[in-house]
Amino acid sequence: MSRKIIKSKYDLYEEKIETIAEVPSEKEKPLAPNSKLKYVGKDVNRYDGYDKVSGSAIYTIDKVLPNMVFARVMVSPHPHAKIKSIDVSKALKLKGVLHIITNENTSEIPWYYNTSKLFDKHLRYQGDEVACVAAETEKIAEEALSLIKVEYEIMPHVVTAESAMKENAPKIHNNGNFGRPSEYTRGNFDEGIKQADVTIEDTFTTQVEVHNPTEVHCSVVNWDGGKLTVWDSTQSIFSVRDNVAQSLGLNASDVRVVKKYMGGGFGSKLEAGKYTVMAALLAKKIGRPVKAAMNRREMNLSVGNRPDSNQTITIGTKKDGTFTAMSHIAYGVMGAYPSGSSSYWPLRSIYKCPNIKIDNKSIYINAGRARPFRAPGHVQGTFALESIIDDLALKLGMDPIELRLKNYTEVDQDGDVPYTSKLLKEAYEKGAEEIGWKNRNKIPGSQTGEIKTGIGMASQIWWGGGAPPSYATLKLNSDGSAKIFSGTQDIGTGTYTFMQQIAADVLEIPIDKVNVDLGDTGTMPYSGGSGGSMTAPSVSPAVYDAAIQMKQKLISNAAAILEVDESNLIYSSGNISSKNDSSKSIEIKDVVGKIHERVLVTTGARNENPNGYAINSFGAQFAKVEVDTMTGIVRVKKIVAAHDIGRVLNRKTLENQFYGGVIMGLGYALMENRVIDDYTGKVLTTNLHDYKMPTMQDMPDIKVIIVSEEDNLISPTGVKGIGEPAMIPTPGAIANAVFNAIGVRIKSLPITPDKILEALNSKS
């Protein structure tokens, strides 16, 4: 198939991304509907399932190389300080210590993500890097850290946005404590408010949430001459390659990054870590492989978090519920280094409103930097927006779903273009039926008794349409088996499996004859990072394209072998035969065997996104809760997730994604919270005992409803991503269910027992 070069434009985490991509010149015929396919859309077991359940899967944390040594990073114990002096002499004398790097011997090494060096003498948060030790064992490296003597100049700190915004607050950076604001207007907010019959305004706050994936951040590095190989627990192998190469002054071709399995990332592993570059420097110095793995304490200090938010929302509406104006004035912390903390996008996009005003501020504080975290901004923003929508519905005397439908829009309001598909109405209908919406409390809090039940819901919008560039190579062997290669990542979501399914269905061969190999910048074609719900909608069309090309190449070769015109051939179940002469038939393995190539090779590319359309996923989640009014404990009994996400590639892995998203949303709604002591500036929740996360005892009944089929305007596979949508509306739905149960609005996450009891006491 012919190719063309385009400028690919798409949205990712509220950023407008532009890149150059090679895409198919012609629009391909879509993959058949799931009902006509053998594997796609079905409950296919994971390709990598046996490896994982048997313990034979090798994660980066499991990687062991001959003669390997271990690196440990010394981090600042203070939230804000400057290094006056550092003495590593005693640590270097410890038996088994091989080398130590500090700012003094790496001062010329730049760091890609901000203007500081790899080590900065100005330490801006507890967890900022001070030194890195290589030793024969982790225990020796840890002991060596305790022998490094550092003299610190302790500086005043700020660990909340409110304190950092004060006029006399200590400056974290020379230009102050404010990052670049996010501002947006549509129409005229002031005029829209004047037109309103009813106005509502309220403020909602959310906490800092820490990623805490099962597998810690880690790298294993090894030099072979001037070539560097990095085994990394990452969501973006090509980003790590480029960032490490840039930091070390290497050619990208001299750095190879490998990642086969990964134990979770949720956005925190979309970039290279400083520990990776430190390990590479140590390995170069001592001439041995180095493993650098963070411990759980460092995970809670240094590798990222979902920033908090303080959101004031104003909505003006007509008596019939038609929105006339909306505003979102908010601020949130981004940590000690540049990042984002905006939460406005749901308000800006999901409901029809001609007049919008947005002003979001990002604030520096002396704490770890914010990182993308499963729908960055959307989870916070959706909680606040969907809470005030329910409050407004009560004020207007309307059903909450009725109010949402009153302000439903079929077009993207920024570009004034239609969506490729939007089935949110259907999601409302199916989800409401499953949860028993008609049985909810018509008057919130009206039940009697100590245990009160409530039902609530929340809507969601996300992108997740994917985009080029993304490529996949397909090789067909002489025995009829196939192998797919792509430089994408399976981050636990089932990427290996859906690629296998697509190839097997297109080539019409048994699925166990298709193998998949992912995650190696040295041997595989480019694919982007696995974040933003981008992987399946970006990679699946590339696999489909490669398989379609392979099918055509087989037909062309069979035509030559059988001496039959291509147009007279039928391809069916891995066999190619003449329409008119049944004696002229050949299996695909024999086609490969009769030509000089021992393997046939094709490389597929992801198609260009359609012009004149907005690509978004939509959904609604419904929650049923019980609230013990004597203890304040909330028990989530059931979550219904009804979504428009295009084609289902694998029902089993899709439901697993939703279970994970719902559980994570439940944790955010009810318990997860990074706690920092104001006085000392130190994080108090640095382990999985103090940082509360859901356990099996917290699990509700979860029902997943998909209201969509393939969205062929997006791509031939018609897929939208589900990683983020699975979590976005859960906290908002739970918050609204709690309100429906007790009749008092909890405006601050997490919804902990003390907040419930305080709210009930204030009501009485």
Look at residues 657, 620, 622, 615 and name the one whose alpha carbon lies nearest to residue 637. 622
Residue 748: inside a domain: yes
Q: Kindly list the distances between the CA atom of residue 187 and the CA atoms of 18, 481, 535, in Å, as whole numbers in the listed order.
A: 27, 58, 35
Residues 251 and 342 in one domain: no
Residues 247, 361: one domain?
Answer: no
Same domain, 364 and 403: yes
* Whether residues 369 and 397 fall in one domain: yes
User: Quick one: tokens of 60?
Assistant: 């980066």
pLDDT at position 103 over 60 = yes
In a domain, 418, yes or no: no
pLDDT digits (tens, 9 = 90+) for 714-735: 999 999 999 999 999 999 999 9
What are the residues whose beta carbons fall under 8 Å from the beta carbon of 563, sequence distance 6 or more?
none
Q: How many helices (H) and strands (E) does the chain have?
A: 18, 32
Contact (Cβ atoms closer than 8 angstroms) between residue 627 and residue 738: yes
What would the mean pLDDT of 640-652 be, rounded to a whole number? 98
Residues 29, 548: Cα–Cα separation, whole Å: 10
Average pLDDT of the residues in 259-285: 96
The verdict on 450 and 476 lying in the same domain is no
Question: Buried b / exposed e across 485-521, counting CB within 10 Å, b at 16+?
Answer: bbbbbbbbbbbbbbbbbbbbbbbebebebbbbbbbbb
Compute CA distances 585 → 128, 555, 594, 597, whole Å.
67, 11, 14, 20
* Average pLDDT along the chain: 96
pLDDT at 47: 96
Give the pLDDT of residue 114. 66
d(CA 622, CA 640): 5
pLDDT category, 6, cuts 50, 70, 90?
Answer: confident
Quick check: is 414 in a domain? no
pLDDT-derived band at 2 (thresholds 50, 70, 90) equals confident
For residues 128-156, one letter each, b for 16 or more C-beta atoms within 10 angstroms of the residue's C-beta and e for the rest, the string is bbbbbbbbeeeebbebbbebbebebeebe
Per-residue pLDDT, 299: 97
Percentage with pLDDT > 90 across the chain: 93
Last residue of a domain, one of 409, 439, 454: 409
Would residue 444 count as lying in a domain? yes
- Examine residue 471 and state whether it is found in any structural domain, yes or no: yes
Same domain, 229 and 360: no
Sign of CA dihedral 511, 515, 520, 523: negative
Q: Compute and round to an integer the Cα radius of gyration of the chain.
A: 28
Q: What is the DSSP string of 690-707?
A: TS----GGGPPEEEEEE-
pLDDT value at 115 more than 60: no
Between the two ends of the chain, the Cα-to-Cα distance in Å is 71
Inter-residue contact 519 to 452 (CB < 8 Å): no
Rounded to an integer, what distance in angstroms lies between the CA atom of residue 682 and that of residue 136?
A: 31
Please give the pLDDT value at position 206.
98
448 and 458 share one domain:
yes
Query: Over 90: is that where the pLDDT of 11 sits?
Result: no
Domain containing residue 710: CATH number: 3.30.365.10
Specify whether 494 is located in the same domain as 554: yes
pLDDT at residue 208 greater than cutoff 80: yes
pLDDT digits (tens, 9 = 90+) for 33-57: 999 999 999 999 999 999 999 999 9
Tokens read off for 223: 């030099």
Number of domains in the chain: 4
Q: What is the pTM of this model?
A: 0.97
Domain span at residue 340? 168-203+309-409
Q: Is 332 contained in some domain? A: yes
In a domain, 417, yes or no: no
Q: Residue 417 pLDDT more than 60?
A: yes
Q: Are residues 763 and 641 in the same domain?
A: yes
Q: Are residues 100 and 178 in the same domain?
A: no
CATH number of 126's domain: 3.90.1170.50
Q: Which residue has the higher pLDDT, 238 or 11?
A: 238
Tens digit of each residue's pLDDT (9 = 90 or more) over 467-520: 999 999 999 998 999 999 999 999 999 999 999 999 999 999 999 999 999 999
What integer pLDDT is reported at residue 681 of this predicted model? 97
By the 10 Å C-beta count (0-12 exposed, 13-18 middle, 19+ buried), 694 is classed as buried
Residues 638 and 739 in one domain: yes
* Residues sharing a CB contact under 8 Å with residue 745, sequence separation 6 or more, in sequence order: 202, 387, 391, 739, 759
Q: Which amino acid is at 219?
A: S
Query: Residue 758 corresponds to which tokens in the numbers above?
Result: 């305080």
Residue 208 lies in a domain: no
Confidence of residue 665 (pLDDT cuts 50, 70, 90): very high
- Which of 559, 577, 605 is a domain's end point? 605
| For residues 640-665, average pLDDT | 97
Give the distance between the most distant pair of CA atoms in the chain.
Answer: 89
Identity of the residue numbered 568: N
Q: Which residues pair with 312 in a beta bridge?
A: 203, 329
Domain boundary among 555, 583, 605: 605
> Same domain for 134 and 258?
yes
Which of 3-12, 192-201, 424-433, 445-454 comes out lowest in average pLDDT?
3-12
